[in-house]
């Protein structure tokens, strides 16, 4: 069984897991049929492990959870939103390399 540090987000638990989190939360909006999402997934696994003390990584499937993607006007996937409490402090759309994602996170975590 694969051990993951990524949490599964839903329309029901989003507020609790993201807005009430004690750390920054990186949310990945994705779907099973999305090829670029599959490319990004192992990178997010590595980031979740490497940034364990700084951020929480969560994934929300846009096909099974409709309310949250609509609330944040998600038009393309993968879309990454970085939250601090209930505010979006960064957005990335599309596939990123691990280096690009780390650069994005490092810059935002220092702001």
Give the contacts of 3 (CB within 8 A, at least 6 positions apart): none
Check 18, 25, 27, 37 and give the catalytic one. 37
Verify whether residue 34 is a known catalytic residue: yes
Spatial distance between the Cα atoms of 47 and 25, rounded to a whole number of angstroms: 12
Half-sphere exposure of 16 (CA within 13 A, CB side): 7
Verify whether residue 69 is a known catalytic residue: no
Spatial distance between the Cα atoms of 87 and 72, rounded to a whole number of angstroms: 11
Check 9, 25, 34, 96 and give the catalytic one. 34
The answer to whether 36 touches 94, Cβ cutoff 8 Å, is yes
- Retrieve residue 31's tokens: 């779907």
**Residues annotated as part of the active site:** 34, 37
């Amino acid at each position: 069984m694969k051990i993951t540090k990524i949490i599964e987000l839903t329309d029901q638990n989003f507020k609790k897991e993201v807005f009430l989190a004690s750390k920054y939360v990186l949310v990945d909006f994705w779907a099973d049929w999305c090829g670029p999402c599959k490319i990004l997934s192992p990178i997010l696994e590595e980031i979740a492990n490497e940034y364990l003390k700084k951020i929480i990584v969560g994934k929300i499937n846009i096909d099974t959870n409709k309310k949250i993607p609509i609330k944040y006007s998600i038009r393309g996937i993968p879309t990454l939103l970085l939250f601090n409490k209930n505010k979006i402090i960064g957005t990335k759309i599309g596939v990123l390399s691990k280096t690009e994602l780390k650069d994005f996170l490092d810059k935002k975590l220092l702001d």
